[in-house]
Amino acid sequence: MFDAVTSNLERYMDLLSTRQKLVAANVANADTPGYKAQDIDFQFEFVTMANGEKPQTIDAQGLTEKPDGNNVDIDRESRLLAENAMRFNVASTLVRGQLKTIQEAITGGGS
């Protein structure tokens, strides 16, 4: 049971890392003419990663393109950064809980 939970959390945190890199690249290129914001389809990629495949980036949909061809929306990227941080905190808390459970099993529950 522990292996399945931690394996899924590991994949989830890998996806969060991938999204964090994409959002950082989007922010860094907010003023680059012709740059198109990138993202991942989080739910689809989680299922796909379960099969051992690398996440695929997609062009972010529904964004308004500026006259220079760039479509990065800083408000959207800021929201994604905050959402990603919150998700990472939850996942890392779950991993720490799993590790604490193992530690207690090994030590007999006494600290």
pLDDT (tens digit per residue) in 24-48: 999 999 999 999 999 998 888 877 7
The 10 Å Cβ neighbour count of residue 46 is 16
CA angle 35, 40, 32 (to 5 degrees): 10
β-strand partners of 38: 59
**Beta carbons of 85 and 17 less than 8 angstroms apart:** no
What's the structural domain count of the chain?
1
58 has which bridge partners? Answer: 39
Cα–Cα dist 92/65, whole Å: 36
Say how far apart CA 66 and CA 88 lie, in whole Å.
32
Residue 5 clears pLDDT 80, i.e. is over it = no
The domain of 75 spans 2-107
pLDDT band, very low/low/confident/very high, at 100 (cuts 50, 70, 90)? confident
What's the pTM? 0.80
Is the Cβ–Cβ distance between 41 and 19 less than 8 Å? Answer: no
